[in-house]
Chains A and B, each alone.
Chain A
Amino acid sequence: MEVFAQQIVNGLSIGSIYAVFAIGCTLIFGVLNIINLAQGAFLMIGACVGLEAARFGLPLPVTLLVAAFGGGLLGVLSEQFMFRPLRKAGGHRWMGLVASLALARLLVGVAQEIFGTEVQAYPRSSMSAIIWQIGGVRIQALQLFIIAAAVVLMLLFAFILQRTSLGRAIRTVAFSEDVARIVGVRVESATLVTFFIAGALAGAAGLLLGVLFNVVSPFMGDSALVKGLTVMILGGLGNIPGAVAGGFLLGLLEVFSVAYVSSAFRDAIGFGLIFLILLVKPTGLFSGFEERRA
């Protein structure tokens, strides 16, 4: 029972990070119908700049903002200098996919040059020292910070998308660029903002991930990307509430498979289950969610 409760806490902390990362990927997919494979690299860069900020002595919440801003900036640059020129040139959607993969490799290379290939750790923060013991369950203050930060980010995201003029504009572009133009939306700006938001979510997720495992490396984006894509598919492509649920689900699944089976099967079990789910429900576990709210 204690092991179970402990795994719930661990699963929620990692799952909340997956959810934050995946809603960014899902947003890009929903608006532009592309999968940006560089999102994983944005996550890694977020963790790296966050680490530099932490070494500089900035408090954790501020490093989170720095990481988010770094990721967002990269998102904007990737749209401005890569995706948009490709679209303008009439490139097929696959071209964007391949180009984003190339960008990811490039960023990993740059990170290796700047930050080195060694795995690095965050400076000891006071938060990792605070541990509550409730029954037999250990809860780190850091875990609570991560879950809280992830939830705040998701609520902020939901608020922007659902309740603001900017959010309506982004959703309109997702529906149809022509309709967006008809109502006076500057589609190019709305797209840039979309890339900023998605990149910022990736950067923030990178920092949270680095802090949770206390590991930052130029290669951390790769496995994160696979997880982000898994969550996207699990939640139903383009379905944001589905991505949130899928993120938490994957986090819990992973943690439980480590606790009860073996850490060697952590990824295999997660993906095996996803394969099963897709066989049974190819549109994703949470598809139909949005329609049902009507």
Chain B
Amino acid sequence: MLELQDVTSGYGTVPAISNINISVPQGACVCLIGANGAGKTTTLLTISGLVRAFSGHIKIDGVDHTTMSADRIVRGGVSLVPEGRRVIASMSVEDNLLIGAYVRKNGPEIANDMRAVYNRFPRLFERRRHYAGSLSGGEQQMLAIGRALMARPKLLLLDEPSMGLAPHVVREIFETIQEINRQGTTILLVEQNARKALSIANYGYVLEKGRIAAEGPTEQLRNTDTVRDAYLGMGQAIESTSQAALG
């Protein structure tokens, strides 16, 4: 469904990712792991049209998206759950979900999907009239995912949904992602938490300094030395330091 062919992209004239090839088949859950600064966010922003590719091609269902505007990409069925959640703090939870459905026109269907999001995340229903800025980190992540789902995407891009969340919340978020995938939405998941990401994805890519360093089915990737030493060990370390940092 999603094909990145030799994509080079970045900021100004400096490439942050170079000659990336990624393929996400229909219905799959693919993860992209890598250290901080490897270019994971840049990859997702390029797919979403917020950062322009310098060269290469991005195709979705065979249609070239490389130079398409961000709003047409959303209309074409690709939604991003951005790094750091970016919920609209000064708007109510409900308005955040409604703005997620901005590209759609059918009122009754939108209302239906809103109910579906509230069923998936009962916490959001309880807090629907509250400002999004008053939610906890986990609730904001749920809201960011809910907002993206309100556009009814075929392909959902998630940028570090586990960032800064307590382990039990991370577990909940990952279960939700798996469920969304099982219900038919194709997923490209970016994570620093390699262990978690590899546990729910079917296929994985490892990004190092803007290049794909390894790829493969997740069972296989998990057992390669590079991934085990560099990411699974470190993933643990990152997890425990971030927990320490959060107190």
A interface residues with partner B (beta carbon < 8 Å): 165, 168-169, 171-172, 175-176, 178-179, 181-186, 290-291, 294
Contact A179 B86 (CB under 8 A): yes
Cα distance A291–B48 in the bound complex, in angstroms: 32
> Could you tell me which residues of chain B, from 81 to 123, have a CB within 8 Å of some CB in chain A?
82, 86, 88-91, 95, 98-100, 102-103
Contact A183 B102 (CB under 8 A): yes
Q: Could you say which of B75, B98, B133 contacts A184, with CB atoms under 8 Å apart?
A: B75
B-side contacts of A183, CB under 8 Å: 74, 99-100, 102-103, 147, 151
Contact A169 B134 (CB under 8 A): no
A-side contacts of B130, CB under 8 Å: 294
Q: List 27 A-B contacts (CB under 8 A).
A: A165-B102, A168-B95, A168-B102, A171-B88, A171-B90, A171-B95, A172-B91, A172-B99, A175-B88, A176-B88, A178-B86, A179-B82, A179-B86, A179-B88, A182-B48, A183-B100, A183-B102, A183-B147, A184-B71, A184-B74, A184-B103, A184-B151, A290-B90, A291-B131, A294-B130, A294-B133, A294-B134
- Residue B70 interfacial (CB < 8 Å): yes
The 7 residue pairs across chains A and B that have the minimum distance between CB atoms:
A184-B74, A184-B103, A181-B70, A294-B131, A184-B71, A175-B88, A168-B99
| Total A-B pairs, Cβ < 8 A | 67
Q: Which A residue sits closest to B91, measured CB to CB?
A: A171
Q: Which A residue sits closest to B100, measured CB to CB?
A: A183
- Residue B80 interfacial (CB < 8 Å): yes
Give the size range of B's interface with the partner. Answer: 20 to 34
Cα distance A169–B96 in the bound complex, in angstroms: 10
A-side contacts of B134, CB under 8 Å: 294
- Residue B25 interfacial (CB < 8 Å): no
A-side contacts of B100, CB under 8 Å: 183
Cα distance A169–B71 in the bound complex, in angstroms: 12
If A165-B102, A182-B48, A183-B103 touch, does A175 touch B71 (CB 8 Å cutoff)? no
Cα distance A176–B88 in the bound complex, in angstroms: 8
Q: Which B residue sits closest to A176, measured CB to CB?
A: B86
Cα distance A165–B71 in the bound complex, in angstroms: 15
- Residue B49 interfacial (CB < 8 Å): yes
B9 CB to nearest A CB, Å: 16
Interface of A is mostly: helix
A268 CB to nearest B CB, Å: 36
B-side contacts of A172, CB under 8 Å: 88, 91, 99, 102
> Could you tell me which residues of chain B, from 22 to 73, have a CB within 8 Å of some CB in chain A?
48-50, 69-71
Q: Which A residue sits closest to B105, measured CB to CB?
A: A165
Q: Could you say which of B50, B91, B131 contacts A182, with CB atoms under 8 Å apart?
A: B50
Cα distance A12–B130 in the bound complex, in angstroms: 33
Cα distance A184–B102 in the bound complex, in angstroms: 7
Cα distance A291–B130 in the bound complex, in angstroms: 11
B-side contacts of A171, CB under 8 Å: 88, 90-91, 95
Q: Which A residue sits closest to B150, measured CB to CB?
A: A183
Cα distance A171–B95 in the bound complex, in angstroms: 10
Most buried by B among A176, A181, A290: A181
A-side contacts of B99, CB under 8 Å: 168-169, 172, 183, 185
Contact A175 B90 (CB under 8 A): yes
Known: A168-B95, A182-B74; 11 extra A-B contacts, CB below 8 A, are: A168-B99, A168-B102, A171-B95, A178-B50, A181-B70, A183-B100, A183-B103, A184-B103, A186-B71, A294-B130, A294-B134
Contact B50 A181 (CB under 8 A): yes
Cα distance A176–B91 in the bound complex, in angstroms: 12
Cα distance A182–B48 in the bound complex, in angstroms: 7
Cα distance A186–B118 in the bound complex, in angstroms: 27
Q: Which B residue sits closest to A162, measured CB to CB?
A: B95
> Could you tell me which residues of chain B, from 137 to 191, have a CB within 8 Å of some CB in chain A?
147, 151
Q: Which B residue sits closest to A175, measured CB to CB?
A: B88
A172 CB to nearest B CB, Å: 5
